[in-house]
Chain A
C-alpha cells in the first residue's frame, strides 16, 4: 500500500521520507516533524505532521503535511507576518512556541481565508502542538487574507 510507504525513517539517519501522490515526495528532517496528540479538530487520527520550509524566502506560507493520513495536507501561514497585532490576543506564550494558522485556498486564490480563531501552537522544543480555540469574539475561522 502507498500508505505504508509514506512514512519510513531511513536507518541511521534523521530523515523522515514522505511519499504522497498528491503532494509529491519529501525527505523531511526529523526535527521538522511535529506531533499533535489530539490531532486536528475533525481529524483526530492525524497526529504526526511535517511542517515544511516556507514556499519561498519571505513567504508566509508553508505546507503542513500529515504523515498518518494519506494525502492530507494544509497550507498554513505565520499569522504574525500578516497581522502583527495578533500575538497580543494569544494567551501568554512560552518563549519557544511557534504559531501557525490554517489557510483555506479556494479555486480563486485571491479569496483565500485564514482561520485565526483556531491557530496551532507548537512547542519548538518538544515539537508537540495543539489547535487552540480563541473565544474572545475578535476572530473567526475565515479572515480574508488579500484585499
Chain B
C-alpha cells in the first residue's frame, strides 16, 4: 500500500483525472473532496460492499424466482 502524508487543503491525484483533497480534519473524522469524471463511480466502502452483496444474493435466486415472486405477490393481493 502506498502511504502518503497530506496537510489540510493538500491534494492527492490519482491518474490524470481524479483528485482527492483533504477538506477538514476534526478528531477522528476526515472530510475529503473527490473530483472525478462522471463515469468514475465513487462509493463509501461499506455502501459499495452492501450493494455488491445484495446484487450477489439476488443473482443466485433460483430459476423459479420470477414465478415464485409473482405467485406470492398475487396471493397477498388476493387477500387484501
Q: Hey, which bits of chain A sit against chain B, CB under 8 A?
A: 22-23, 37-38, 40-43, 55-56, 59-63, 72-75, 77, 102-107, 109-110, 112, 115, 117-118, 131, 133, 135, 141-142, 145-147
Contact = CB atoms under 8 A, between A and B. Distances in A.
**Those 7 A-B pairs whose CB atoms lie nearest each other, nearest first:** A42-B52, A109-B68, A141-B54, A105-B65, A109-B72, A104-B58, A55-B70
A38 B56 contact: no
Given A73-B61, A117-B50, A118-B54, 19 more contacts: A42-B52, A56-B70, A56-B74, A59-B73, A73-B59, A75-B65, A75-B69, A77-B69, A104-B58, A104-B61, A105-B66, A105-B69, A109-B69, A133-B51, A135-B47, A141-B54, A145-B69, A146-B76, A147-B76
Q: Is the interface of A mostly helix, strand, loop or mixed?
A: loop
Main secondary structure of the interface of B (DSSP, over half): helix
A135 B54 CA distance: 16
Nearest to A73: B59
Contact of B61 (A75, A110, A135, A142): A75
B69 to A, nearest CB: 5
B69 A61 contact: yes
Given A74-B61, A75-B61, A42 B39 contact: no
Interface string B22-39: 000000000000000001
Instruction: Give the most central of B48, B56, B58, B76: most A CB within 10 Å.
Output: B58
B13 interface: no
A133 B52 contact: no
B58 A75 contact: yes
